Amino acid sequence: MTNRPEGLRARYLAAFPKTLDALPGAELGWLRSLRESALARFADLDLPEPRVEDWKYTNLRPLKASDLAVPANDSASADAPSGLPRFGDGARLVFVNGRLDAAASSPALPAGARLLSLGAALAETPDLLESDLGRLVPWQGEGVLALNTAFMRDGYVLAIDPGVEIETPIEIVFHGGAASHAAWHVRNVIRLGEGARATVIESHVGAPDAAYFSNPVTEIFAGPSSALRHYRIQDESIKAQHLAHVAAELAEKADMESFVLTLGAALSRNEIRVAIEGHHVECKLNGIYLQRGTQHSDNTTVIDHKVGDGRADEVYKGVLDDRASGVFQGRFIVREDAQKTDANQQSRAILLSPKARADAKPELEIFADDVKCSHGATIGELDEEPLFYLRARGIDTDTARALLVEAFLRDAIEKITCEPVREAFGKRVEDWIRAEKEGS
């Protein structure tokens, strides 16, 4: 299967010349050459194999061999279905099959802030993107990112001027429609000026049983003293493949909070790479992954402390049932002279079924001496003792297990500082646990 000539790579390479002119910004020379270089890298690299160290625990061979269609050229987008997630009444963009659904979107923001699609941004203000697009994403070294860079289309661009604070959460919905066997490569850009503040909630959802490949890549430029809360819920169709990459650059005193709740997809990976470029930065990366059946979820994070005085905090928790597998890879890099860095990471996974599996690789790479860095990782089943304690009080086993799972996940949920999101995500976690209890 893997070697058949019409594998995913071959189809993308063949489609590129025909697609190039239809991609946004086709008339921009710099973007064309960026896409062409990225395609050349993809031709060399292909999607990573498990022997690539960073992809040791996530196998993309089925995706490589799949008969997914390359992104279509037409500009028509399917209509957004009703009942898509809504957290408040803030600005909102809806993408269906990777294309903006303008009718379902309401992008209006107060003065000093803009929310638009990548295509619109490239048409209106290409200069703003020229120096930055693709700068944070190491597409030269990795096939998934090279592919996205060559084919990137739509996605959202959020730009907030210095000093502007947007209180209401901005909502982005990516919906995978019933049109099966499609792939899309969205590219998002968030740019916060000095002192700007915003909250972004991304929902990645899909029609039940739709089989598609969603490949969103986000570049975040957080200016000095800016604050970004970036929340994501990944509840794709159970047959979807979801490979997300977030690359962020934090300037002095920037504050970034990220939370990823992973529920859906057959296979998913959330990779976050943060470069700390200024002093006194705060970076919080948290997440929960709940998987059952044969689902596979990979959470990979890298926080690169290039200068000192930064603080990083990370909590990832996973619950895995049936034959599901979960991966956590978290690396802290502290460069020479990045003194007074304080970084802490916790990753914990609970296996609910004998066939579930978890892999963890927490890494420290430290080149400065005056630092405090630590990580802790645990993998195991639910504790027997509290289970016994609850049973002794007349609580049945299923209820007791559900309670303990909820308690296990609680402190990760509590890390979400935006209240409506904390409640909504908390509710989704409870739903998952309830389904678990009823299913067992």
Whether the CB-CB separation of 251 and 275 falls below 8 Å is answered with: no
Residue type at 112 in one-letter notation = G
Percent helix, strand and coil across the chain, each to the nearest 5: 25, 35, 40
Shortest Å, Cβ 377 to another protein: 4
CA gap 355, 321 in Å, rounded: 8
Question: Taking a C-beta distance cutoff of 8 angstroms, is the pair 106, 143 a contact?
Answer: no
Among 364, 387, 395, 403, the residue binding another protein under the rule CB under 8 A is: 364
Decide whether 194 or 309 has the Cβ nearer to another protein: 309
Cα separation, 84 vs 66, whole angstroms: 28
d(CA 438, CA 282): 40
Only one residue has tokens 């709740």, namely 261
Q: Which of 36, 67, 363, 398 binds another protein (CB under 8 A)?
A: 363
DSSP string, 38-75: HHHHHHHH-SPPTTSGGGTT---HHHHHS-PPPPPS--
Rounded to a whole number of angstroms, the minimum distance from the CB of residue 434 to another protein is 21
The single residue among 285, 358, 409, 412 that binds another protein, judged by CB under 8 A, is 358
**Residue 243 in tokens:** 């490979």
What's the min distance (Å) between Cβ of 132 and another protein?
31
368 near another protein (CB under 8 A): yes
Query: Is there binding between residue 312 and another protein (CB under 8 A)?
Result: no
If one asks whether residue 337 binds another protein (CB under 8 A), the answer comes out as yes
Does 32 help bind another protein (rule: CB under 8 A)?
A: no
For another protein, which is the closer residue by CB, 196 or 307?
307
- Exactly one of 6, 44, 167, 336 binds another protein (CB under 8 A); that residue is 336
Q: Is residue 132 a contact residue for another protein (CB under 8 A)?
A: no
One of 165, 194, 359, 430 touching another protein (CB under 8 A): 359
> Beta-carbon neighbour count of residue 207 at 10 Å?
19
Q: Which of 136, 150, 158, 360 binds another protein (CB under 8 A)?
A: 360
Residue 38: strand pairing partners: none
Question: Residues 40 to 59: which contact another protein by CB under 8 A?
Answer: 53
Q: Kindly state whether residue 385 participates in binding another protein, applying the rule CB under 8 A.
A: no
Alpha-carbon span 204 to 211, nearest angstrom: 14
Which residue from 1, 5, 17, 369 is in contact with another protein, where contact means CB under 8 A?
A: 369
Contact residues toward another protein (CB under 8 A) are 53, 336-337, 339, 349, 351-354, 356-381
